[in-house]
Structure 1
Amino acid sequence: MDLGMIRGFGIFDFFRTTGHSPLFLEDYLNRFTTSAEKTHLPLSYSREQLRTIVKELIDKNNLLNGGLRMLLSGGVSENHFSPAKGKLFIFAESLSMPSEEKYQEGVKLLTLEYVRPIADIKTTNYTLPVWHSVHWNRLGAEDVLYHWNGVVSESSRSNFFIVKNGVIHTPDQHILLGITRKKILEIAGNVIIRPISLAEVWEADEAFISSTTKVLLPVTQLDDRKIGSGKPGSVTMGILEKFRKLEKETVV
């Protein structure tokens, strides 16, 4: 009767390890604890306890370049509806990154008119994209690009960026504040955060998506139309190179 099962209510977060070290751990713990507060779910573990558990799991599983998934369920409530004290699960997982071909050739996205509920919280509710993925897999797409009233927001599991005249732009509304997005903003410097219209995406020179499990993937096609030249652009690939360097330099 946990709300995670009967209502699909819960939160999660996922981060990678570089070698045997959790990458950007403090940023992910910040987001996870904030998500718990915003969804009214009690978290019985302190940040220090979470750090200790994470490091023990990495050691016990010899988790080399893998992933850690933290999930807090909605709990069992008296009325089977209101948030309650749920269960915390932390899983150590193997990790499969996108093929090198996708980084070199770029990927295709499909437009989808949708706004993710409470987008600033990383909830477990992925019902629409899981259902819709059967469609995009048939069409050879990597994912979707959400838009509403002509304004784009994000992909189902990634943040979205465009490049125009050498300047990077990224949406500011109805998005999850991704940790990879945050690091890209830091290393890129002059990123403009603002509403971006779907029309602007069609006219962009480059586009890319970012996430924990993708890092940064060039987007070279949207629906049946090419983005820019139809090949990964120099700005996109330059940011990817800087991010890979940041990963190697990061020591937790």
Structure 2
Amino acid sequence: MKPFCFADGKFIPTESATIHPSDLGLIRGYGIFDFFRTANYQPLFLDHYLDRFITSAEKTYLPLDYSRAELKSIITGLIEKNDLREGGIRMVLSGGVSENHFSPAKGKLFIFAESLIFPSEEKYQQGVKLLTLEYVRAIADIKTTNYTLPVWHSVNWKRLGAEDVLYHWNGWVSESSRSNFFIVKDGVIHTPDQHILLGITRKHLLHLAGNAVIRPISLEEVWEAEEAFISSTTKILLPVTQLDDRKIGNGKVGKTTLEILEKFRKLELETVS
């Protein structure tokens, strides 16, 4: 975490940021957040992330007392104050202190600047392993702060040498705990359409792919896919070469995966140039 954050309507030392112990974000796990990266001091795809954050606030009935222009100004100031050339910005809106300790209330806005840790180059070259998990994330289209199950389950991932999980329910896959999921069949990218967060990286990858297909995907199809990968703000596009104890395709990072990753990296460079 970087030295300065935005809280209580001003820039303060990050270590001084506080939240009420009865805030729903703490006692009920109710709140929203969003996270994006900076490159060359510029926030990447900021309007897309603000769209999602503002919509999440509306859908969770949490008042957001800042306009889009004000949020942009705060973010720009925070990047400058922390000299954040390459890093991350995390926006959090808590559930607030509720009279009945349950209903959404007026929450507290925090905006933090963070250092980033990307996956190792080895993971991009060799791919990663996912574990199947029967689960559907609650209100998946909203980026809530409730990650109780994957945080608890992550101890098991590390023990089994996995990067993350792949959620599925009634035979249909949806997403990873912090990433969108894709498969490649006959050189065409396919991605699930239900019970997912509409990722910003996912959005740009679909645009770059051009002929990608958004549809229900069965777990059986994943086993038979030529390639697979996950996408997120911090992973960008991470190849998946193993699911549980079975290889995806030939167990190696595929051509289509590498091509779309290269296109996205070029897009990022164009965005900050």
Shorter chain as normaliser: what TM range?
over 0.9
Gaps of 5+ in 2: 1-21
Structure 1 CA distance, aligned partners of 2:251 and 2:259?
A: 17
SS in 1 for 2:92: strand
Structure 2 CA distance, aligned partners of 1:178 and 1:161?
A: 12
Structure 1 CA distance, aligned partners of 2:122 and 2:38?
A: 23
User: If the length of structure 1 is used for normalisation, what is the TM-score?
Assistant: 0.99
Moved over 4 A (4+): none
Task: Please point out which of 118, 143, 146 is paired with 2:139.
Answer: 118
Task: Please point out which of 212, 228, 238 is paired with 1:191.
Answer: 212
CA-CA distance at 1:19 after TM superposition:
1.3
The answer for the alignment partner of 1:73 in structure 2 is: 94
CA-CA distance at 1:124 after TM superposition:
0.2
Task: Please point out which of 95, 111, 119 is paired with 1:90.
Answer: 111
The answer for the alignment partner of 1:6 in structure 2 is: 27
Structure 1 CA distance, aligned partners of 2:77 and 2:250?
A: 47
Q: How many residues align?
A: 252
User: If the length of structure 2 is used for normalisation, what is the TM-score?
Assistant: 0.92
Query: Percent identity, aligned pairs only?
Result: 80
Structure 2 CA distance, aligned partners of 1:75 and 1:139?
A: 38
The answer for the alignment partner of 1:240 in structure 2 is: 261
The answer for the alignment partner of 1:158 in structure 2 is: 179
SS in 1 for 2:152: helix
SS in 1 for 2:165: strand
CA-CA distance at 1:77 after TM superposition:
1.1
The answer for the alignment partner of 2:7 in structure 1 is: none
CA-CA distance at 1:251 after TM superposition:
3.5
Structure 1 CA distance, aligned partners of 2:56 and 2:37?
A: 19
Residues 6-61 of structure 1, C-alpha deviations (whole Å, 9 max, x = no match): 10000000000011000000000000000000000000000000000000000010
Q: Determine whether 1:170 maps to 2:186.
A: no
Q: Determine whether 1:215 maps to 2:209.
A: no
The answer for the alignment partner of 1:130 in structure 2 is: 151
Gaps of 5+ in 1: none
One-letter code aligned to 1:81? F
**Matches of residues 31-46 of structure 1 in structure 2 within 5 Å?**
31-46=52-67
Structure 2 CA distance, aligned partners of 1:18 and 1:189?
A: 25
SS in 2 for 1:77: coil
